Amino acid sequence: MKSSDILTIGEVSNRTGASVSAIRFYEDKGLLTPHRNAGGQRRYVRADIRRLSFILIAQQLGFSLKEIRTQLASLPEGRTPTKADWMRISRRFRRILDDRITVMSRLRDHLDGCIGCGCLSLRSCALYNPDDRAEDAGPGARYLLDGPPTKRRGIWS
Amino acid sequence: MKSSDILTIGEVSNRTGASVSAIRFYEDKGLLTPHRNAGGQRRYVRADIRRLSFILIAQQLGFSLKEIRTQLASLPEGRTPTKADWMRISRRFRRILDDRITVMSRLRDHLDGCIGCGCLSLRSCALYNPDDRAEDAGPGARYLLDGPPTKRRGIWS
DNA sequence: GCTTGACCTCAACTTAACTTGAGCTTGTAA
DNA sequence: TTACAAGCTCAAGTTAAGTTGAGGTCAAGC
| A145 pLDDT more than 60 | no
Q: With CB atoms and an 8 Å threshold, state whether B57 touches A122.
A: yes
| B116 contact residues in A (CB cutoff 8 A) | 83, 86-87, 90
Interface contact flag, A90 B83, Cβ < 8 Å = no
- Give the bases of strand D that a protein CB approaches within 7 Å: 6-9, 16-20, 25-27
Give me the residue spans of the domains in chain B: 3-81
Cβ contacts of B30 within 8 Å, gap of 6 or more: B69
Cβ neighbours of A107 in B, within 8 Å? 60-61, 97
Per-residue pLDDT tens over the stretch A66-93 = 999 999 999 998 899 988 898 889 888 8
DSSP codes joined into one string, A62-117: T--HHHHHHHHTTS-SSS---HHHHHHHHHHHHHHHHHHHHHHHHHHHHHHHHHHS
Cβ–Cβ under 8 Å, residues B70 and B104: no
Distance CA A85, CA B118 (A): 12
Beta-carbon separation of A155 and B61 below 8 A: no
What fold does the segment set A3-81 form as a domain? Answer: Multidrug-efflux Transporter Regulator; Chain: A; Domain 2 (1.10.1660)
- Of A42, A44, A41, A72, nearest to A56 by C-alpha is A72
Put simply, whether B73 touches A (Cβ < 8 Å) is no
- The minimal CB distance from B122 to the residues A17, A89, A104 is found for A17
For range A7-27, the mean pLDDT? 95
Q: What is the pLDDT of residues B47-106, one digit of tens each?
A: 999 899 999 988 988 899 999 999 999 999 889 998 889 889 988 988 988 888 888 888
Q: Which of B21, B48, B18, B19 is nearest to B33 (CA)?
A: B48
Exposure string over B127-137, b if 16+ CB within 10 A, otherwise e: bbbbbbbeeee
